[in-house]
Chains A and B, each alone.
Chain A
């Protein structure tokens, strides 16, 4: 499996899109951090940027990559290699390359400018988000035979988690503002990896004071150690469940 991963990684790292993506991320990060006068504001800009760009890039790149690797997969399947090894190797290659590019692009400037616990948190969540959306891309690519449809599903998934789900939460908050739904909101937030990451990060910035009572509830949950452990566990679930589903499907697919 490691042998196949090496081939996948070598192929991905030659891709110029990935280099452009890395430069884009680091360009944004350096400017955001050097233009803002307070680091907290700079990090806030980065949080919003990261939660928009990293999932989009991960889900699109992995979906398209899987479709383009159809020949590679076909070649390997006729060799004495287990199917689950092929799929896992592809996932390891894509996830680690996306994660690495994120760490280089956003991590380096962050480590230079910000010396607070939030930067570590930022790097871990961004890294996990890269992997999670690779897994979602894998799921889209294995279920849709047609490339256009698969990419469409991937974009929809990103749109849903990055934009629509937020709107949905806001809507719920307003509609049920007379009821004590703050605790239920914690559960609702867990159902979207991006929102989960956002809240984890915002609570480590001073801006959480602006979030009012809901913010206080969130802080009392996500701010504690057990809350954080649960959140990261939930992010891992978001990584493993889509990937396991795609793996199961791939093992039972006609090629």
Chain B
């Protein structure tokens, strides 16, 4: 469904992505894991067209990402740190995004309702706490029932109850056969969610394995232990 073909990107002297080639199939819940600064967010942002790769091609449903912008209708993106216009209220931001996508009438308000964003809708974004901003980001990502969900550190900053709600929502969407891409450092959370692990190291893809394969290979029985096993290997 999504195909990266020899994608490379450097920021000045820093080589963030080296020749990344991978295909992400439909219906999987993929965890994107790696050290800080290994290029996870850059990979996601280049898929969204926010970062423009120096070389290579990214295909979304066989359509070059560079050639259009319509493909983004099929993506719900939850950024690591959501930046929103400070003087717009929650309600205005949600309305604006809905308005921009007016071709898509079907909206999924489940998360917005679960987080009771309705009660806060007149609050300016600038006055919100980090956690509430994350709730807005999450609600926006799921709002249009997209085929692909990209969640960059979704539970960071959310309180336990809110992150539980989000996890349940992710599982529900996964069961509908959506492609879900999650980056997270909270490995214990991933255990019951993900079906595949994409491990990145210094701008390269170290491996892309299903959970079963990974467990067999590392000889451990939980994802977090497997990952720690590989992270440590990287340090040696």
B70 at the interface (CB under 8 A from A): yes
**Closest-CB distance, B89 to chain A (whole angstroms):** 12
A80 near B101 with CB under 8 A, answer yes
Decide yes or no whether A7 CB sits under 8 A from chain B.
Answer: yes
A82-B69 contact given A254-B11, A254-B51, CB 8 Å threshold: yes
Q: What distance in Å separates the Cβ of A79 from its nearest Cβ neighbour in chain B?
A: 5
Determine whether B48 belongs to the interface, using a CB cutoff of 8 Å to chain A. Answer: yes
Quick one: given A3-B99, A7-B96, are A78 and B48 in contact (CB under 8 Å)? yes
A75 touches B86 (CB 8 A): no
* Contact (Cβ within 8 A) A255 B51: yes
Q: Mark B168-191, 1 if CB is under 8 A from A, else 0.
A: 000000000000000000000000
| B residues 147-177 touching A (CB-CB < 8 Å) | none
Least CB distance, A75 to chain B, in whole angstroms: 6
Total interface residues on A, using CB and 8 Å?
Answer: 23
With a cutoff of 8 Å between Cβ atoms, the chain B residues found around residue A75 in the complex are 83-85, 93, 97
Contact assessment for A255 and B85 in the assembled complex, using a CB-CB cutoff below 8 Å: no
Give Cα A195 to B69, complex, Å.
Answer: 42
Q: Is A178 an interface residue, CB under 8 A from the partner?
A: no
Asked if B93 contacts A81 (CB within 8 A), the reply is no
Determine how close the nearest CB of chain B comes to the CB of A248; give it in whole angstroms: 13
* Contacting residues, chain A, for B86 (C-beta < 8 A): 71
| A77→B49 contact, CB < 8 A | yes
Among B51, B70, B88, B100, the residue within 8 A (CB) of A3 is: B100
Q: Are B70 and A71 in contact (CB under 8 A)?
A: no
Q: A78-B72, A79-B72 are in contact. Are A254 and B50 (CB under 8 A)?
A: yes
B160 CB to nearest chain A CB (Å): 27
Task: Indicate if the CB atoms of A79 and B50 lie closer than 8 Å.
Answer: no
Q: Judging by beta carbons under 8 Å apart, are A11 and B101 in contact?
A: no
**Known contacts A3-B99, A3-B100, A254-B11; A77/B85 CB under 8 A:** no
B127 at interface (Cβ–Cβ under 8 A)?
no
Closest Cβ–Cβ distance, residue A144 to chain B (whole Å): 15
A76 and B100 in contact, given A82-B69, A254-B51, A255-B50 (Cβ under 8 angstroms): yes
Instruction: Note all chain B residues with C-beta closer than 8 A to A80.
Output: 69-73, 100-101
Residues of A near B4 (CB, < 8 A) are: none
Chain A nearest CB from B102 CB (Å) reads 8
Q: What's the least CB distance linking A1 to chain B, in Å? A: 11
B134 to chain A, nearest CB (A): 14
- B100 to A: closest C-beta gap in Å: 5
Assess whether B116 is interfacial by the CB under 8 Å rule: no
Interface size band for B: 20 to 34
Interface: B117 (CB within 8 A): no
Cross-interface CB contact of A71 among B50, B83, B97, cutoff 8 Å: B83
Chain A residue nearest to B49 in the complex (CB): A77
Closest B residue to A254 by beta carbon equals B51
Q: Flag if B96 contacts A78 (CB, 8 Å).
A: no
A252 within 8 A of B: yes
| B70 CB → nearest A CB, Å | 6
Closest chain B residue to A85, Cβ basis? B69
Q: Assess whether A72 is in contact with B85, with CB atoms less than 8 Å apart.
A: yes
A79 to B93, CA, bound (A): 12
A78 to B152, CA, bound (A): 13
For the complex, is A48 an interface residue (Cβ under 8 Å from B)? no
Q: Least Cβ distance of B186 to chain A in Å?
A: 23
Nearest-Cβ distance from residue A26 to partner chain B, whole angstroms: 26
Residues of A with C-beta under 8 A to B77: 78
Question: Do A78 and B79 touch across chains, with their CB atoms under 8 A apart?
Answer: yes
| Interface status of A69 (Cβ within 8 A of chain B) | yes
Q: Does A18 contact B (CB under 8 A)?
A: no
Residues of A50-76 contacting chain B, CB below 8 A:
69-72, 74-76
Q: For the complex formed, measure the closest distance between the CB of A64 and the CB atoms of chain B, giving whole angstroms.
A: 14
Interface residue A4 (Cβ < 8 Å from any Cβ of B) = yes
* Chain A: minimal CB distance from B153 (Å): 15
In the bound complex, how far is the Cα of B65 from the Cα of A78, in angstroms? Answer: 12
| Residues from chain A with Cβ under 8 Å of B93 in the complex | 75
A74-B79, A255-B45, A255-B51 given; 11 more Cβ-contact pairs under 8 Å = A11-B87, A74-B83, A75-B84, A76-B100, A77-B49, A81-B69, A81-B72, A252-B52, A254-B11, A254-B50, A255-B50
